[in-house]
């Protein structure tokens, strides 16, 4: 199990996500952004918009995804 924060994934806060893969952590942050925005959090709106924009540009999105997977792989277990 490894942990990354919302901030490490491009968000504005230090909420930690723990998972066995980068994909699990990315999905958790995606849900966190959705929930925060639905609750009216404008700081998370910017991060949510950036996340949605990444996937409209496959090359940019894939670069972010691969970078996140590398950052996850470099983290210590724990």
pLDDT in the model for residue 61:
86
pLDDT in the model for residue 25:
97
Average pLDDT per run of 10 along the chain, which is 78 residues long? 96 96 96 96 92 84 92 91
* Chain centroid to CA 24: 10
If one counts the domains in the chain, the total is 1
What are the φ/ψ torsions at residue 12 (nearest 5 degrees)?
-95, -5
Strands 2-5, 16-19: pairing is: antiparallel
Give the predicted TM-score (pTM) of the model: 0.88
Instruction: Report the residue count for the chain.
Output: 78
Strand partners, 15: none
Q: Which domain holds residue 66?
A: 2-74
How crowded is the C-beta side of 13, counted as CA atoms within 13 Å? 14
Nearest Cα to Cα of residue 6 among 40, 61, 44: 44
């Amino acid at each position: 199990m490894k942990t990354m924060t919302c901030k490490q994934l491009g968000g504005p806060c230090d909420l930690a996500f723990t998972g066995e893969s980068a994909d699990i952590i990315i999905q958790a942050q995606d849900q966190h952004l959705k929930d925060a925005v639905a609750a009216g959090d404008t700081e998370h709106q910017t991060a949510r918009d950036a996340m949605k924009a990444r996937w409209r540009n496959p090359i940019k999105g894939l670069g972010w995804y691969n970078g996140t997977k590398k950052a996850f792989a470099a983290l210590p277990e724990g």
